[in-house]
Amino acid sequence: MAKKDLRFNTLLVHGAGFKDQYYSANVPIYQTSTFAFENADYGAKCFSGEIDGYIYTRLGNPTISALENTVAALEGGYGGIATSSGMGAVTTIYMALLEKGAHIISTDAVYGPSRGVMEEHFSRFGVESTYIDTSDINKIKSSIRKNTKLLFIETPANPTMSITDLEKCFEIAKENNIIMVVDNTFSSPYLQNPIKYGTDVVFHSMTKFLNGHADVVGGIIVAKEKVIYDKLRVMMINMGCNFDPHQSYLVLRGIKTLAIRIERAQENAIKIAQYLENHPKIEWVKYPGLKSHPQYELAKKQMRGFGTMISFELKGGYEAGKILMNNVKVALLAVSLGGVETLIQHPASMTHSKIPKESRIKAGITDGLVRYSVGIEDVNDLIEDLDQALSKI
Ligand SMILES: *Cc1c(COP(=O)(O)O)cnc(C)c1O
């Protein structure tokens, strides 16, 4: 039985069929920059592509390939391309699939730097971009231009937690000959597989759920078909934003527990979301697993679970946010997400403090907004921690 045919949870543990001459139980770290050829003929065949041999680690390496094949299988795609970071994946996608005069439509609440690099740098090369609430399908339709080449979706998006309908998006993309890309970082392949709905390219910041232990920065792209895969791989190699063997080993290790980590964190997340929703000092809570979430039904349809990210608004605004940050003792005051440890963040006083208040609020980053990434700790400790910190406000 090809490993590809295995069920998701088995694939997580066994990976996509790595084998070496020793039948190593675990994928070894091939800590080498280059690979010697047996003879000139063999070298020539590696370069011509006749033999699928390794040449140089920026182009490919057995440990990195094992990771790429595993994530490609988890997403149901043709092939994977590991990158130095999630942003390495974003820039590789932009560089490979856009050209001078092209136009991209993107989710307005997309990861900040995914928008920043487009508006500040790709614009210098004549690429146009439009940012809209992609959870409104009609807004996508009306934003399409003759030169639209990419539809770039993030769902659930952050910090609004709004959800975009992947199936409907792909219908529109296909009709208009547009390549559809999904940033699947917030869900991981465990909760959502965009390729199942047609999506052409999926990518992750592996820094988050895939690795899951807050000790690696990395990214990965999975393409549905060979044509786009080849373009992306060549671009990654030429830009030099490759991943490395040692970190590939760490991510492969993290992936083995992806399902049980997310299951536990999700159990915690729904309890915490409900606790927060009933707290008098909290204005609103955004979590796709709450019935109050406007796209609760859509989340239920296209995701296997509701994830581990919660946004909430403190009634006390900016000051309340700072008090909460200064009083939590279990959750770590840190950006990032998707790890075994719970993280808390107050964008107005932390990540977004340099943005003028007016534009910050326009982008939905209100004064009392708190972002909470739920880990796998005992939920009672997390709730007690929030409870004592909220009581200080
Ligand atoms: C973190 C993140 C990225 C960027 O990933 P890095 O590994 O930090 O470069 C992109 N998209 C989303 C949704 C993220 O959370």
> What's the 3-state SS for the chain?
CCHHHCCHHHHHHHCCCCCCCCCCCCCCCCCCCECCCCCHHHHHHHHHCCCCCCCECCCCCHHHHHHHHHHHHHHCCCEEEEECCHHHHHHHHHHHHCCCCCEEEEECCCCHHHHHHHHHCHHHHCCEEEEECCCCHHHHHHHCCCCEEEEEEECCCCCCCCCCCHHHHHHHHHHCCCEEEEECCCCHHHHCCHHHHCCCEEEEECCCCCCCCCCCCCEEEEECCHHHHHHHHHHHHHHCCECCHHHHHHHHHHHCCHHHHHHHHHHHHHHHHHHHHCCCCEEEEECCCCCCCCCHHHHHHHCCCCCCEEEEEECCHHHHHHHHHHHCCCCEECCCCCCCCCEEECCCCCCCCCCCHHHHHHCCCCCCEEEEECCCCCHHHHHHHHHHHHCCC
Q: Report the pLDDT value the prediction gives residue 1, as an integer from 0 to 100.
A: 43
Q: Report the pLDDT value the prediction gives residue 176, as an integer from 0 to 100.
A: 98
- Separation of CA 189 and ligand 1 centre (Å): 15
Same domain flag for 289 and 243: no
The answer to whether residue 1 sits within a structural domain is no
111 is catalytic: yes
Last residue of a domain, one of 220, 255, 290: 255
Ligand 1 touching residue 115 (CB < 6 A): no
CATH number of the structural domain spanning residue 208: 3.40.640.10
Q: Report the pLDDT value the prediction gives residue 181, as an integer from 0 to 100.
A: 98
Catalytic residue among 58, 261, 286, 371: 58
Last residue of a domain, one of 232, 255, 278: 255
Q: Which residue out of 208, 221, 371 has the highest number of ligand 1 atoms within 8 Å of its CB and is therefore the one to mutate?
A: 208
Q: Report the pLDDT value the prediction gives residue 353, as an integer from 0 to 100.
A: 85
- Separation of CA 113 and ligand 1 centre (Å): 8
pLDDT tens, per residue, the chain with 393 residues: 445 578 999 999 999 989 999 999 999 999 999 999 999 999 999 999 999 899 999 999 999 999 999 999 999 999 999 999 999 999 999 999 999 999 999 999 899 899 999 999 999 999 999 999 999 999 999 999 999 999 999 999 988 899 999 999 999 999 999 999 999 999 999 999 999 999 999 999 999 999 999 999 999 999 999 999 999 999 999 999 999 999 999 999 999 999 999 999 999 999 999 999 999 999 999 999 999 999 999 999 999 999 999 999 999 999 999 999 999 999 999 999 999 999 999 999 988 888 888 888 887 889 999 999 999 999 999 999 999 999 999
Q: Report the pLDDT value the prediction gives residue 4, as an integer from 0 to 100.
A: 57
Say whether pTM exceeds 0.85.
yes
CATH number of the structural domain spanning residue 341: 3.90.1150.10
- Separation of CA 86 and ligand 1 centre (Å): 5
Q: Residue 327 belongs to what domain range?
A: 258-390
Last residue of a domain, one of 255, 289, 323: 255
Q: Which atom of ligand 1 is nearest to the CA of 207?
A: 7
Ligand 1 touching residue 217 (CB < 6 A): yes
Ligand 1 touching residue 205 (CB < 6 A): yes
